[in-house]
Amino acid sequence: MRKTIVVGGGAAGMFASVFAAQMGDEVICLEQNEKLGKKLYITGKGRCNFTNAGTMEELFDSIMSNSKFMYSAFYGYNNFDVMDFFEQSGVEYKVERGNRVFPESDHAWDVIDALHEKMRRLGVRIRLNTKVLRLHIDNNQCDGVFMEDEGQKEAFLGADRVIVATGGFSYQTTGSTGDGYRFAKEAGLAVTDLYPSLVPMNTREDYVKELQGLSLRNVSLSIYDEQKMLYSDFGEMLFTHFGITGPLVLTASAMVGPIIKKKAVQGYIDLKPALSEEKLDERILRDFEEGRNKQFKNVIGGLYPAKLTPVMIRLSGINPEKKVNEISREERKNLVAVTKRFPMTITGLRDFKEAIITKGGVSVREVNPKTMESKKIKGLYFAGEVLDVDALTGGFNLQVAWSTAYAAALGE
Ligand SMILES: Cc1cc2nc3c(=O)[nH]c(=O)nc-3n(C[C@H](O)[C@H](O)[C@H](O)COP(=O)(O)OP(=O)(O)OC[C@H]3O[C@@H](n4cnc5c(N)ncnc54)[C@H](O)[C@@H]3O)c2cc1C
Protein backbone atom coordinates (compact mmCIF):
# COMPACT_ATOMS: atom_id res chain seq x y z
CA MET A 1 0.00 0.00 0.00
CA ARG A 2 1.37 3.43 -0.96
CA LYS A 3 2.10 5.58 2.08
CA THR A 4 1.34 9.30 1.70
CA ILE A 5 2.26 12.02 4.17
CA VAL A 6 0.19 15.21 3.87
CA VAL A 7 1.87 18.22 5.48
CA GLY A 8 -0.80 20.67 6.65
CA GLY A 9 -4.39 20.11 7.68
CA GLY A 10 -5.92 23.15 5.99
CA ALA A 11 -8.27 23.18 3.01
CA ALA A 12 -5.84 21.57 0.55
CA GLY A 13 -4.35 19.16 3.09
CA MET A 14 -7.70 17.82 4.26
CA PHE A 15 -8.98 17.47 0.70
CA ALA A 16 -5.80 15.73 -0.46
CA SER A 17 -5.99 13.38 2.54
CA VAL A 18 -9.57 12.39 1.70
CA PHE A 19 -8.87 11.60 -1.95
CA ALA A 20 -5.51 9.91 -1.37
CA ALA A 21 -7.21 7.65 1.20
CA GLN A 22 -10.08 7.03 -1.20
CA MET A 23 -7.48 5.93 -3.76
CA GLY A 24 -6.32 3.31 -1.28
CA ASP A 25 -3.24 5.09 0.10
CA GLU A 26 -2.27 4.85 3.74
CA VAL A 27 -2.48 8.55 4.67
CA ILE A 28 -1.00 10.48 7.58
CA CYS A 29 -1.93 14.15 7.86
CA LEU A 30 0.44 16.26 9.97
CA GLU A 31 -0.87 19.57 11.29
CA GLN A 32 1.06 21.93 13.53
CA ASN A 33 -2.07 23.48 15.07
CA GLU A 34 -4.23 21.97 17.78
CA LYS A 35 -7.04 21.56 15.26
CA LEU A 36 -7.64 21.18 11.54
CA GLY A 37 -8.72 23.96 9.19
CA LYS A 38 -7.98 26.97 11.37
CA LYS A 39 -7.93 29.34 8.41
CA LEU A 40 -11.05 27.77 6.91
CA TYR A 41 -12.90 28.82 10.08
CA ILE A 42 -12.39 32.48 9.25
CA THR A 43 -13.04 32.31 5.52
CA GLY A 44 -15.97 34.28 4.16
CA LYS A 45 -16.30 36.06 7.54
CA GLY A 46 -16.93 32.69 9.20
CA ARG A 47 -19.37 31.57 6.49
CA CYS A 48 -16.80 30.01 4.11
CA ASN A 49 -17.37 30.97 0.52
CA PHE A 50 -16.07 27.56 -0.51
CA THR A 51 -16.35 27.85 -4.29
CA ASN A 52 -17.95 29.85 -7.07
CA ALA A 53 -20.80 28.61 -9.26
CA GLY A 54 -19.60 30.50 -12.34
CA THR A 55 -18.53 29.08 -15.69
CA MET A 56 -15.16 27.50 -16.36
CA GLU A 57 -14.19 30.69 -18.19
CA GLU A 58 -14.96 32.71 -15.07
CA LEU A 59 -12.83 30.36 -12.98
CA PHE A 60 -9.86 30.94 -15.27
CA ASP A 61 -10.51 34.70 -15.43
CA SER A 62 -10.42 34.86 -11.62
CA ILE A 63 -6.86 33.51 -11.50
CA MET A 64 -4.36 36.34 -11.29
CA SER A 65 -1.14 34.34 -11.58
CA ASN A 66 -0.58 31.28 -13.76
CA SER A 67 -4.11 30.51 -14.88
CA LYS A 68 -2.80 28.18 -17.63
CA PHE A 69 -1.16 26.01 -14.99
CA MET A 70 -4.63 25.42 -13.51
CA TYR A 71 -6.02 23.95 -16.74
CA SER A 72 -5.67 20.24 -15.88
CA ALA A 73 -6.53 20.73 -12.21
CA PHE A 74 -9.75 22.66 -12.94
CA TYR A 75 -10.84 20.23 -15.66
CA GLY A 76 -9.93 17.30 -13.43
CA TYR A 77 -12.00 18.58 -10.52
CA ASN A 78 -14.19 21.63 -11.08
CA ASN A 79 -16.43 23.88 -8.98
CA PHE A 80 -19.51 21.70 -9.56
CA ASP A 81 -17.58 18.63 -8.41
CA VAL A 82 -16.82 20.57 -5.21
CA MET A 83 -20.48 21.45 -4.69
CA ASP A 84 -21.46 17.79 -5.27
CA PHE A 85 -18.75 16.61 -2.89
CA PHE A 86 -19.96 18.80 -0.04
CA GLU A 87 -23.62 18.10 -0.72
CA GLN A 88 -22.93 14.36 -0.61
CA SER A 89 -21.01 14.93 2.60
CA GLY A 90 -24.10 16.49 4.17
CA VAL A 91 -23.32 20.19 3.55
CA GLU A 92 -26.28 21.83 1.84
CA TYR A 93 -25.20 24.95 -0.02
CA LYS A 94 -26.60 28.15 -1.43
CA VAL A 95 -25.44 30.47 -4.19
CA GLU A 96 -25.29 34.19 -3.48
CA ARG A 97 -24.38 37.41 -5.31
CA GLY A 98 -21.53 36.94 -7.77
CA ASN A 99 -22.12 33.14 -7.79
CA ARG A 100 -20.46 32.85 -4.37
CA VAL A 101 -21.24 29.45 -2.84
CA PHE A 102 -21.73 29.13 0.95
CA PRO A 103 -22.98 26.37 3.25
CA GLU A 104 -26.75 26.80 3.71
CA SER A 105 -26.08 27.02 7.46
CA ASP A 106 -23.70 30.01 7.02
CA HIS A 107 -21.19 28.13 9.19
CA ALA A 108 -17.65 27.46 7.98
CA TRP A 109 -17.34 24.71 10.56
CA ASP A 110 -19.79 22.57 8.57
CA VAL A 111 -17.23 22.45 5.76
CA ILE A 112 -14.44 21.56 8.20
CA ASP A 113 -16.55 18.96 10.02
CA ALA A 114 -17.52 17.31 6.74
CA LEU A 115 -13.87 17.00 5.69
CA HIS A 116 -12.79 15.84 9.13
CA GLU A 117 -15.50 13.18 9.21
CA LYS A 118 -14.52 11.92 5.74
CA MET A 119 -10.88 11.69 6.82
CA ARG A 120 -11.87 9.76 9.93
CA ARG A 121 -14.08 7.32 8.03
CA LEU A 122 -11.41 6.68 5.42
CA GLY A 123 -8.90 5.89 8.15
CA VAL A 124 -6.60 8.91 7.67
CA ARG A 125 -4.25 9.19 10.64
CA ILE A 126 -4.37 12.77 11.87
CA ARG A 127 -1.52 14.04 14.01
CA LEU A 128 -2.22 17.46 15.48
CA ASN A 129 0.35 19.66 17.25
CA THR A 130 2.92 18.17 14.92
CA LYS A 131 5.18 20.49 13.02
CA VAL A 132 7.12 19.30 10.02
CA LEU A 133 10.63 20.70 10.29
CA ARG A 134 12.06 19.61 6.95
CA LEU A 135 11.69 17.10 4.16
CA HIS A 136 13.91 14.09 3.70
CA ILE A 137 15.19 13.91 0.15
CA ASP A 138 17.58 11.25 -1.04
CA ASN A 139 18.71 10.80 -4.61
CA ASN A 140 16.09 13.25 -5.90
CA GLN A 141 13.33 11.31 -4.19
CA CYS A 142 11.31 12.66 -1.26
CA ASP A 143 10.75 9.75 1.10
CA GLY A 144 9.68 11.28 4.37
CA VAL A 145 9.77 14.18 6.78
CA PHE A 146 11.40 15.23 10.03
CA MET A 147 8.78 16.42 12.47
CA GLU A 148 8.45 17.69 16.00
CA ASP A 149 5.52 16.84 18.24
CA GLU A 150 4.28 18.43 21.47
CA GLY A 151 7.16 16.91 23.43
CA GLN A 152 9.45 18.75 20.98
CA LYS A 153 11.17 15.52 20.09
CA GLU A 154 12.41 15.39 16.55
CA ALA A 155 11.41 12.23 14.70
CA PHE A 156 11.61 10.87 11.19
CA LEU A 157 8.54 9.60 9.41
CA GLY A 158 9.07 7.72 6.17
CA ALA A 159 6.66 7.52 3.23
CA ASP A 160 6.45 6.82 -0.49
CA ARG A 161 5.49 10.41 -1.12
CA VAL A 162 4.83 13.75 0.60
CA ILE A 163 2.16 16.31 -0.30
CA VAL A 164 3.10 19.78 0.94
CA ALA A 165 -0.11 21.71 1.68
CA THR A 166 1.28 24.24 4.15
CA GLY A 167 -0.61 27.27 2.79
CA GLY A 168 0.80 30.72 2.17
CA PHE A 169 2.21 33.45 4.34
CA SER A 170 -0.90 35.45 5.18
CA TYR A 171 -2.81 35.48 8.49
CA GLN A 172 0.08 33.62 10.09
CA THR A 173 -1.80 33.11 13.34
CA THR A 174 -3.80 30.43 11.50
CA GLY A 175 -0.62 28.40 10.97
CA SER A 176 0.38 29.45 7.47
CA THR A 177 3.89 30.45 8.39
CA GLY A 178 5.45 29.93 4.98
CA ASP A 179 7.22 26.66 5.83
CA GLY A 180 6.35 25.14 2.47
CA TYR A 181 8.33 27.83 0.66
CA ARG A 182 11.37 26.93 2.76
CA PHE A 183 10.88 23.22 2.06
CA ALA A 184 10.78 23.95 -1.67
CA LYS A 185 13.91 26.11 -1.55
CA GLU A 186 15.78 23.51 0.51
CA ALA A 187 14.80 20.96 -2.15
CA GLY A 188 16.40 23.22 -4.77
CA LEU A 189 13.13 24.41 -6.28
CA ALA A 190 12.41 28.01 -7.31
CA VAL A 191 10.02 30.09 -5.22
CA THR A 192 8.80 33.33 -6.79
CA ASP A 193 8.67 36.63 -4.86
CA LEU A 194 5.92 36.76 -2.25
CA TYR A 195 3.43 39.65 -1.96
CA PRO A 196 0.40 40.14 0.23
CA SER A 197 -2.67 40.10 -2.02
CA LEU A 198 -6.38 40.82 -1.58
CA VAL A 199 -5.10 43.27 0.98
CA PRO A 200 -5.98 46.86 2.04
CA MET A 201 -3.80 49.82 1.08
CA ASN A 202 -2.10 52.64 2.98
CA THR A 203 -2.66 56.21 1.87
CA ARG A 204 -0.76 59.40 2.68
CA GLU A 205 -3.32 62.21 3.07
CA ASP A 206 -4.79 62.96 6.49
CA TYR A 207 -8.17 63.75 4.97
CA VAL A 208 -8.49 60.13 3.79
CA LYS A 209 -7.97 58.89 7.36
CA GLU A 210 -10.50 61.44 8.61
CA LEU A 211 -13.06 59.50 6.58
CA GLN A 212 -12.50 56.23 8.44
CA GLY A 213 -15.65 54.12 8.68
CA LEU A 214 -17.22 55.69 5.61
CA SER A 215 -18.16 53.16 2.94
CA LEU A 216 -18.91 54.18 -0.62
CA ARG A 217 -21.08 52.24 -3.04
CA ASN A 218 -21.32 52.71 -6.78
CA VAL A 219 -18.07 54.59 -7.11
CA SER A 220 -15.20 53.96 -9.44
CA LEU A 221 -11.61 53.65 -8.31
CA SER A 222 -8.70 54.27 -10.67
CA ILE A 223 -5.03 53.81 -9.90
CA TYR A 224 -2.31 55.52 -11.90
CA ASP A 225 1.45 55.29 -12.01
CA GLU A 226 2.10 58.82 -13.28
CA GLN A 227 0.14 58.96 -16.57
CA LYS A 228 -0.29 55.19 -16.91
CA MET A 229 -3.57 53.73 -15.73
CA LEU A 230 -2.91 50.54 -13.78
CA TYR A 231 -6.44 49.74 -12.66
CA SER A 232 -9.96 51.06 -12.91
CA ASP A 233 -13.20 49.46 -11.75
CA PHE A 234 -16.60 50.21 -10.33
CA GLY A 235 -18.05 49.02 -7.00
CA GLU A 236 -17.70 49.43 -3.24
CA MET A 237 -14.87 50.61 -1.01
CA LEU A 238 -14.27 51.68 2.55
CA PHE A 239 -12.06 54.23 4.31
CA THR A 240 -10.05 53.13 7.36
CA HIS A 241 -7.66 54.68 9.90
CA PHE A 242 -4.72 53.78 7.62
CA GLY A 243 -6.23 54.22 4.15
CA ILE A 244 -8.62 52.22 2.02
CA THR A 245 -10.11 48.74 1.81
CA GLY A 246 -13.27 46.99 0.53
CA PRO A 247 -13.94 44.93 -2.61
CA LEU A 248 -12.56 47.44 -5.15
CA VAL A 249 -9.35 47.91 -3.20
CA LEU A 250 -8.77 44.19 -2.56
CA THR A 251 -9.25 43.41 -6.24
CA ALA A 252 -6.89 46.24 -7.19
CA SER A 253 -4.26 44.79 -4.84
CA ALA A 254 -4.50 41.41 -6.60
CA MET A 255 -4.01 43.06 -9.98
CA VAL A 256 -1.38 45.71 -9.34
CA GLY A 257 -0.11 44.92 -5.83
CA PRO A 258 3.50 44.20 -6.84
CA ILE A 259 3.80 47.71 -8.37
CA ILE A 260 2.24 49.38 -5.31
CA LYS A 261 4.62 47.43 -3.08
CA LYS A 262 7.55 49.08 -4.85
CA LYS A 263 6.38 52.69 -5.24
CA ALA A 264 3.72 55.19 -4.28
CA VAL A 265 0.99 55.60 -6.90
CA GLN A 266 -2.00 57.92 -7.36
CA GLY A 267 -5.53 56.78 -6.64
CA TYR A 268 -8.67 58.61 -7.77
CA ILE A 269 -12.25 58.00 -6.79
CA ASP A 270 -14.98 59.05 -9.14
CA LEU A 271 -17.73 59.81 -6.62
CA LYS A 272 -20.35 60.29 -9.35
CA PRO A 273 -19.47 57.80 -12.08
CA ALA A 274 -22.99 57.89 -13.53
CA LEU A 275 -22.65 61.61 -14.40
CA SER A 276 -20.30 63.13 -16.97
CA GLU A 277 -18.48 66.31 -15.90
CA GLU A 278 -21.05 68.39 -17.83
CA LYS A 279 -24.03 66.63 -16.22
CA LEU A 280 -22.46 66.93 -12.78
CA ASP A 281 -21.85 70.64 -13.36
CA GLU A 282 -25.50 71.07 -14.41
CA ARG A 283 -26.63 69.23 -11.27
CA ILE A 284 -24.45 71.46 -9.04
CA LEU A 285 -25.71 74.58 -10.84
CA ARG A 286 -29.30 73.49 -10.18
CA ASP A 287 -28.50 73.01 -6.47
CA PHE A 288 -26.85 76.44 -6.41
CA GLU A 289 -29.82 78.11 -8.10
CA GLU A 290 -32.27 76.54 -5.65
CA GLY A 291 -30.22 77.84 -2.70
CA ARG A 292 -29.03 81.14 -4.26
CA ASN A 293 -28.67 83.05 -1.02
CA LYS A 294 -27.47 80.18 1.13
CA GLN A 295 -23.88 79.55 2.15
CA PHE A 296 -21.91 76.97 0.17
CA LYS A 297 -21.59 74.65 3.20
CA ASN A 298 -25.40 74.49 3.48
CA VAL A 299 -26.04 73.69 -0.16
CA ILE A 300 -23.37 71.13 -0.85
CA GLY A 301 -24.69 68.52 1.62
CA GLY A 302 -27.04 66.82 -0.84
CA LEU A 303 -24.20 65.81 -3.09
CA TYR A 304 -22.15 63.60 -0.74
CA PRO A 305 -22.48 61.41 2.36
CA ALA A 306 -22.38 63.65 5.49
CA LYS A 307 -18.88 62.54 6.55
CA LEU A 308 -17.45 63.41 3.16
CA THR A 309 -18.92 66.91 2.91
CA PRO A 310 -16.35 68.84 5.04
CA VAL A 311 -13.48 67.13 3.20
CA MET A 312 -14.99 67.96 -0.19
CA ILE A 313 -15.44 71.58 0.88
CA ARG A 314 -11.75 71.77 1.79
CA LEU A 315 -10.62 70.03 -1.40
CA SER A 316 -12.73 72.36 -3.54
CA GLY A 317 -10.92 75.37 -2.06
CA ILE A 318 -14.23 77.25 -1.83
CA ASN A 319 -14.87 79.29 1.33
CA PRO A 320 -17.68 77.35 3.12
CA GLU A 321 -19.29 80.64 4.26
CA LYS A 322 -19.48 81.99 0.73
CA LYS A 323 -22.97 82.54 -0.73
CA VAL A 324 -23.46 80.18 -3.64
CA ASN A 325 -24.40 82.99 -6.03
CA GLU A 326 -20.89 84.40 -5.45
CA ILE A 327 -19.11 81.19 -6.39
CA SER A 328 -17.17 81.63 -9.61
CA ARG A 329 -17.34 79.31 -12.60
CA GLU A 330 -13.70 78.40 -11.96
CA GLU A 331 -14.48 77.41 -8.36
CA ARG A 332 -17.41 75.31 -9.51
CA LYS A 333 -15.24 73.58 -12.09
CA ASN A 334 -12.80 72.71 -9.34
CA LEU A 335 -15.59 71.19 -7.28
CA VAL A 336 -16.59 69.07 -10.28
CA ALA A 337 -12.97 68.03 -10.78
CA VAL A 338 -12.44 66.80 -7.20
CA THR A 339 -15.79 65.00 -7.24
CA LYS A 340 -14.85 63.14 -10.40
CA ARG A 341 -11.23 62.65 -9.28
CA PHE A 342 -11.05 62.52 -5.50
CA PRO A 343 -7.27 62.26 -5.09
CA MET A 344 -5.23 60.00 -2.81
CA THR A 345 -1.61 58.93 -2.71
CA ILE A 346 -1.42 55.17 -2.25
CA THR A 347 1.82 54.57 -0.40
CA GLY A 348 1.79 50.79 -0.13
CA LEU A 349 0.03 47.57 0.75
CA ARG A 350 -0.87 46.44 4.25
CA ASP A 351 1.09 43.55 5.72
CA PHE A 352 0.72 39.80 5.13
CA LYS A 353 -1.16 39.48 8.40
CA GLU A 354 -4.04 41.40 6.82
CA ALA A 355 -3.86 39.72 3.41
CA ILE A 356 -6.45 37.17 2.33
CA ILE A 357 -3.96 35.45 0.08
CA THR A 358 -0.27 35.30 -0.80
CA LYS A 359 0.75 36.16 -4.34
CA GLY A 360 3.80 34.15 -5.40
CA GLY A 361 5.02 30.80 -4.14
CA VAL A 362 6.48 27.55 -5.44
CA SER A 363 7.16 28.23 -9.10
CA VAL A 364 4.67 26.39 -11.28
CA ARG A 365 7.51 25.71 -13.73
CA GLU A 366 8.83 23.27 -11.15
CA VAL A 367 5.55 21.37 -10.90
CA ASN A 368 3.72 18.95 -13.18
CA PRO A 369 0.26 20.55 -13.65
CA LYS A 370 -1.47 17.19 -14.02
CA THR A 371 -0.16 15.61 -10.82
CA MET A 372 1.26 18.55 -8.80
CA GLU A 373 4.48 16.56 -8.44
CA SER A 374 7.81 18.32 -8.54
CA LYS A 375 9.50 17.80 -11.88
CA LYS A 376 12.89 17.47 -10.16
CA ILE A 377 12.12 15.64 -6.92
CA LYS A 378 10.09 12.47 -7.24
CA GLY A 379 7.52 11.87 -4.53
CA LEU A 380 7.26 15.58 -3.65
CA TYR A 381 3.87 17.19 -4.36
CA PHE A 382 2.42 20.64 -3.70
CA ALA A 383 -1.22 21.71 -3.27
CA GLY A 384 -3.05 24.92 -2.35
CA GLU A 385 -1.78 28.37 -1.57
CA VAL A 386 1.87 27.28 -1.33
CA LEU A 387 1.87 27.25 -5.16
CA ASP A 388 2.39 30.42 -7.18
CA VAL A 389 -1.31 30.67 -8.01
CA ASP A 390 -3.65 33.30 -6.58
CA ALA A 391 -7.16 34.34 -7.46
CA LEU A 392 -9.72 37.06 -6.81
CA THR A 393 -12.30 36.89 -4.01
CA GLY A 394 -15.50 34.94 -4.68
CA GLY A 395 -14.59 31.39 -3.62
CA PHE A 396 -11.89 31.04 -6.27
CA ASN A 397 -8.93 30.65 -3.94
CA LEU A 398 -10.53 27.71 -2.18
CA GLN A 399 -11.39 26.23 -5.58
CA VAL A 400 -7.65 26.38 -6.36
CA ALA A 401 -6.96 24.55 -3.08
CA TRP A 402 -9.56 21.82 -3.77
CA SER A 403 -8.57 21.27 -7.43
CA THR A 404 -4.81 21.16 -6.82
CA ALA A 405 -5.31 18.91 -3.78
CA TYR A 406 -7.40 16.50 -5.82
CA ALA A 407 -4.75 16.39 -8.56
CA ALA A 408 -1.99 15.79 -5.99
CA ALA A 409 -3.99 13.08 -4.22
CA LEU A 410 -4.49 11.17 -7.44
CA GLY A 411 -1.00 11.90 -8.73
CA GLU A 412 1.03 8.84 -9.62
C1 LIG B 1 -9.63 36.20 6.37
C2 LIG B 1 -9.63 35.27 5.18
C3 LIG B 1 -10.82 34.99 4.53
C4 LIG B 1 -10.81 34.15 3.40
N5 LIG B 1 -12.01 33.87 2.82
C6 LIG B 1 -12.04 33.07 1.72
C7 LIG B 1 -13.27 32.70 1.12
O8 LIG B 1 -14.36 33.00 1.63
N9 LIG B 1 -13.21 31.96 -0.03
C10 LIG B 1 -12.03 31.54 -0.58
O11 LIG B 1 -12.04 30.89 -1.62
N12 LIG B 1 -10.85 31.81 0.01
C13 LIG B 1 -10.82 32.55 1.15
N14 LIG B 1 -9.62 32.81 1.76
C15 LIG B 1 -8.39 32.17 1.23
C16 LIG B 1 -8.32 30.71 1.70
O17 LIG B 1 -8.45 30.67 3.10
C18 LIG B 1 -7.02 30.05 1.28
O19 LIG B 1 -6.94 30.12 -0.13
C20 LIG B 1 -6.97 28.59 1.69
O21 LIG B 1 -7.12 28.44 3.08
C22 LIG B 1 -5.66 27.94 1.27
O23 LIG B 1 -5.69 26.59 1.67
P24 LIG B 1 -4.35 25.81 2.01
O25 LIG B 1 -4.77 24.47 2.49
O26 LIG B 1 -3.42 25.91 0.89
O27 LIG B 1 -3.70 26.63 3.22
P28 LIG B 1 -4.23 26.80 4.72
O29 LIG B 1 -5.69 26.74 4.76
O30 LIG B 1 -3.54 28.00 5.23
O31 LIG B 1 -3.68 25.51 5.47
C32 LIG B 1 -2.30 25.28 5.67
C33 LIG B 1 -2.15 24.42 6.91
O34 LIG B 1 -0.82 23.93 6.98
C35 LIG B 1 -0.40 23.96 8.32
N36 LIG B 1 1.07 24.01 8.35
C37 LIG B 1 1.87 24.99 7.86
N38 LIG B 1 3.17 24.67 8.06
C39 LIG B 1 3.19 23.47 8.69
C40 LIG B 1 4.24 22.64 9.17
N41 LIG B 1 5.53 22.98 9.04
N42 LIG B 1 3.91 21.47 9.78
C43 LIG B 1 2.60 21.10 9.93
N44 LIG B 1 1.58 21.88 9.51
C45 LIG B 1 1.86 23.04 8.88
C46 LIG B 1 -1.03 25.21 8.88
O47 LIG B 1 -1.11 25.19 10.28
C48 LIG B 1 -2.40 25.21 8.19
O49 LIG B 1 -3.36 24.55 8.95
C50 LIG B 1 -9.61 33.60 2.92
C51 LIG B 1 -8.41 33.87 3.58
C52 LIG B 1 -8.42 34.69 4.71
C53 LIG B 1 -7.13 34.94 5.44
Pocket test for ligand 1, best of 58, 102, 176 (most atoms within 8 A of CB): 176
The answer to whether the CB of 38 is under 6 A from ligand 1 is yes
The DSSP symbol for 86 reads H
Query: Could you give the C-alpha distances from 265 to 331, 351, 397, in angstroms and in order?
Result: 27, 17, 27
Chain-wide mean pLDDT for the chain?
A: 96
Question: Which of 153-157, 195-199, 240-244, 348-352 shows the lowest per-residue confidence on average (mean pLDDT)?
Answer: 153-157
* Residue-wise burial string across 239-250, b where 16 or more C-beta atoms lie within 10 A, e elsewhere: bbebbbbbbbbb
Mean pLDDT value across residues 63-85:
97
When pLDDT is cut at 50, 70 and 90, the band that residue 142 belongs to is very high
pTM (2 d.p.): 0.95
User: Mean pLDDT over residues 248-272, rounded?
Assistant: 96
- Mean pLDDT, residues 261-265 taken together: 94
Domain span(s) for CATH 1.10.8.50 in the chain? 200-350
Burial 135-151 (b: 16+ CB within 10 A, else e): bebeeeebbbbebeeee
State mean pLDDT over 302-310: 93
32 CB near ligand 1 (under 6 Å): yes
Residue among 237, 262, 325, 343 at smallest CA distance from 289: 325
Identify the band that residue 403 occupies on the pLDDT scale cut at 50, 70 and 90.
very high
Ligand 1 close to Cβ of residue 14 (< 6 A): no
Beta-carbon contacts of residue 129 (< 8 Å; ≥ 6 apart): 31, 32, 33, 34, 149, 150
pLDDT at residue 149, as a whole number:
82
Among 171, 356, 362, 382, the mutation site with the greatest number of ligand 1 atoms within 8 A of its Cβ is 356
CA 160 to ligand 1 centroid distance, Å: 25
Q: What residue spans in the chain does CATH classification 3.50.50.60 cover?
A: 3-195+353-410
- CA 196 to each of CA 45, 183, 264: distance values in angstroms, whole numbers, following the listed order: 19, 20, 16
Indicate if ligand 1 lies below 6 Å from the C-beta of 12. Answer: yes
User: Closest Cα partner for 105 from 50, 44, 47?
Assistant: 47
List, for residues 367-396, the tens digit of each pLDDT value. 999 999 999 999 999 999 999 999 999 999
CATH 1.10.8.50 describes domain 200-350: yes
Q: Where are the alpha helices (DSSP H) in 221-264?
A: 247-262
Predicted local confidence at residue 196, as pLDDT: 96
**In this model, does residue 236 exceed pLDDT 80?**
yes
CATH number of 3-195+353-410: 3.50.50.60
Average pLDDT over residues 63-71: 97
316 within ligand 1 shell (Cβ under 6 A): no
Distance separating alpha carbons of residues 256 and 275, to the nearest angstrom: 27
Does the pLDDT value for residue 83 go beyond 80?
yes
